[in-house]
Amino acid sequence: MKLYGSLQNRIMEEGAQKLKPEVGMGATFVSYSDLDAGTIIEVVSDVHIRVQLDKHIRVDKDGKQSTFDIGDAQYYRYEPDPEAPIYECWMRKDGKWHDEKNMRGRVVRIGKREHYYDPSF
């Protein structure tokens, strides 16, 4: 099995996979070292959910989305975004949720919404 992305994201995606998805529950798309926050908007079946990305508003000391310094903490508040894309996510045999629109099938952690932009890329 080929691993990709940051080690921290790989470790963090393990714990959330045992939760039962519910409408309104937070979700996090893991993309290498970046994270994108979303909300479960529909539970289609035990192995199929729909997740919509959330608006993320930066609220840390900088508070400016255009200014990032490597190592600075990033804090966000989240709001629903009815205009955001909706992603079909499936539980695979590996026991993890995956976004099937993304060719690589990025992992989707459920139970918590997080956003992080890695400024080093």
- pLDDT single digits (tens) 79-97: 999 999 999 999 988 899 9
Tell me, what's the pLDDT at 71? 55
Dump pLDDT digits (tens) for 31-85.
888 899 999 999 999 999 999 999 998 887 655 544 455 556 778 899 999 999 9
d(CA 2, CA 31): 15
Q: What are phi and psi of 6, to 5 degrees?
A: -80, 150
